[in-house]
Structure 1
């Protein structure tokens, strides 16, 4: 610990950066101004290199110190969500229909804070890559960065990420070896036929009836085709059809998602969603067109990196505030691609209890700025422990 603790004065600066990013949100692969802001800040800190436009709008800052060849990556996300903000904050979104409703503004600001702190202290021996990735929410920005040579150009021994977690006790960090976030597949299904006048259904067919049957029947995948002890969620998230009160439409469009940990459930869900859709379509004399999209794999924390993360978190918060025995989330995260590529660890930082609309992706979500000091200290401690600076005095 430094005698003159730099965390307190830096905290206010980090919060101001977050509020700026929050007020100017951008969707995935459109984060040009956010990326420009990040790159400008990194250069002002005096990092050794700043690389832009990686995997689209991604940014990587490079900070070296000492002679060690060891290197790690620290990652945050740049993108916002297509949500109309209803939070009562003075820095509310200026972009209509776009909102930082997941805390990526905070993650990026805190990683910038870590970059500034470590640029000033140089309290490590090795190389840190500060990775700011685009399009985490739906478009797989981390995979785009990897495909663009992220880990070939910036080779690391492990990569680490922090995510604020509403509902987890404030002042705690949760992580575990193995799965922490689920895999995700998404699907779009169209039932299509002739339609009819609402008063004369016998002369046509009814894709709304078919879609209704599908919404109910598809749940048999969870309740009757998979071991009840194996986590699986199948959720229908959108149903669209018709625009006139007295006409049964010709077409109904359905969107859904499947969440799971076991890789084999991807093919299983794809097969059964297709079978159920075709069976219902046939029973209703309709056509069915299914597009099933394989999504993110699960986030699977690797043992060595997780041990490092737990050690750092325990140093910062005390071992009694580090949670390792908890249920993994069926939410998903494209950090999974990075961990799969090079190993790493994903941690949740407790943001305290909130209401449903104030949680992640809620339109009244408000990032808890109270977590900033702990995360800055966590990043600093993690780097110092993974890339220890051996004093010259000790070597003499």
Structure 2
């Protein structure tokens, strides 16, 4: 990749960084990507895929595998706190996860493919919407337009603060956790705050549920984590004894089955507490992420690419606790999600002063290009 091409990708990255859009709202982001690909001669362009998603198809002349390389379109509802010229122009929204950089990398792969088509098979470059909410991958998989391009093997990367810049972080098997957001609603009965005995406040039950949920992983055989992220009791009305409560928690495990078991135990535990206090209880789930599982064959392609490029590689033993929407593709095809170190002193993902380091773009493009050459000749 020459300096002019790299500068084009950096300019694209900075433009995307300045104009973030939240999950499900990525229309302008998609337009910018389509405009960038006009000169890159894909054989097919699919728009409005699973919402605002995009796919660019490059066909080989011979029969072969279909490989997919995926990045994310969406930003976050986080105020950016950076003193940089390309700071987000949108109040309360930012790309402090690095999806702008991931899009630049896949666009760079498009640059390579426009000059050198795959000899055999087919390459799909996927720009996925709504990764942050865990809704985008499912919408893609369920979209009929995607079915004729179902991949035999799929790849993605995520930049990882805390690791050396351009270091490849890789693992066979479980790589990122399964998770789900749980909402618990407790319903008792309001009364005047001067006569609390006339009502049925869920305050004590709510407190017990919070403590019990966060202690629940201690009783599990495999790794699990429950993080209570929000709680609300009644309303700000000093003359009223509260009659309702809401508890929100994120439940995590390295395997889908273990997460589902944690969900079942959480429901049982909180139901028992609610019954003890004579309260009604209801459960609701949101932002469900499947565990990301790295297939041995896909892992081999990634590991070999890193070796060819003489990159530093860190083979981790323990999966990451965070979740990635790419995990849903693991249920449908062979997948590899690997990490690309973004600096030991780099702010962590989702912190307001995070900014994707442009030095990673060329490494990311080269990793995917080596994998694609290996698969497609």
Residues 331-382 of structure 1 deviation map (CA, whole Å, 9 limit, x = unaligned) = 1111112122121211100011247xx3112222221222112112112222
For residue 248 of structure 1, report the CA deviation from its aligned partner. Answer: 3.5
Counterpart-to-counterpart distance in 2, 1:178 and 1:246? 56
Give the corresponding residue for 1:288. 281
Give the corresponding residue for 2:108. 113
Equivalent residue in structure 1 for 2:67, among 56, 67, 72: 72
CA gap of 1:129–1:123, structure 2 versus 1, over 3 A, is closer
Equivalent residue in structure 2 for 1:360, among 325, 349, 372: 349
CA gap of 1:88–1:155, structure 2 versus 1, over 3 A, is same
Counterpart-to-counterpart distance in 1, 2:320 and 2:41? 38
Preserved CA contact (<8 Å) 2:49 2:146: no
CA gap of 1:286–1:354, structure 2 versus 1, over 3 A, is farther
For residue 286 of structure 1, report the CA deviation from its aligned partner. Answer: 2.4
Counterpart-to-counterpart distance in 1, 2:182 and 2:176? 20
Preserved CA contact (<8 Å) 2:224 2:259: no
Preserved CA contact (<8 Å) 2:9 2:107: yes
Residues 27-72 of structure 1 deviation map (CA, whole Å, 9 limit, x = unaligned) = 1121111111112211221222211011111101011344343331
Which 10-residue stretch deviates more, 286-295 or 332-341? 286-295
TM value normalised by structure 2 = 0.93
Counterpart-to-counterpart distance in 2, 1:121 and 1:8? 19
Equivalent residue in structure 1 for 2:369, among 370, 373, 380: 380
Counterpart-to-counterpart distance in 1, 2:260 and 2:46? 38
- 1:36 lines up with 2:31 in the alignment: yes
CA gap of 1:173–1:380, structure 2 versus 1, over 3 A, is same
- Aligned counterparts, 1:156-167, within 5 A: 156-167=151-162
Give the corresponding residue for 2:132. 137
- 1:279 lines up with 2:272 in the alignment: yes
CA gap of 1:10–1:246, structure 2 versus 1, over 3 A, is farther
Secondary structure, aligned partner of 1:56: coil
Give the corresponding residue for 1:308. 301
Preserved CA contact (<8 Å) 1:163 1:348: yes
For residue 150 of structure 1, report the CA deviation from its aligned partner. Answer: 5.6
CA gap of 1:22–1:246, structure 2 versus 1, over 3 A, is farther
Give the corresponding residue for 1:223. 218
Give the corresponding residue for 1:253. 246
* Unmatched runs of 5 consecutive residues or more in structure 1: 1-5, 389-396
Give the corresponding residue for 1:96. 91
* Unmatched runs of 5 consecutive residues or more in structure 2: none
For residue 270 of structure 1, report the CA deviation from its aligned partner. Answer: 2.4
Give the corresponding residue for 1:391. none
Preserved CA contact (<8 Å) 1:28 1:139: no
- Runs of 4+ with deviation above 6 angstroms: none
Secondary structure, aligned partner of 2:309: helix
TM value normalised by structure 1 = 0.89
Give the corresponding residue for 1:392. none
Counterpart-to-counterpart distance in 2, 1:256 and 1:7? 48
Counterpart-to-counterpart distance in 2, 1:196 and 1:166? 51
Residues 210-256 of structure 1 deviation map (CA, whole Å, 9 limit, x = unaligned) = 222211011232012x11xx211111111123223554422221111
Secondary structure, aligned partner of 2:216: helix
Counterpart-to-counterpart distance in 2, 1:16 and 1:210? 54
For residue 284 of structure 1, report the CA deviation from its aligned partner. Answer: 2.9
Residues 283-310 of structure 1 deviation map (CA, whole Å, 9 limit, x = unaligned) = 3332222224582221111111110011
Counterpart-to-counterpart distance in 1, 2:189 and 2:344? 50
Preserved CA contact (<8 Å) 2:48 2:54: yes
Preserved CA contact (<8 Å) 1:235 1:257: yes
Counterpart-to-counterpart distance in 1, 2:252 and 2:2? 39
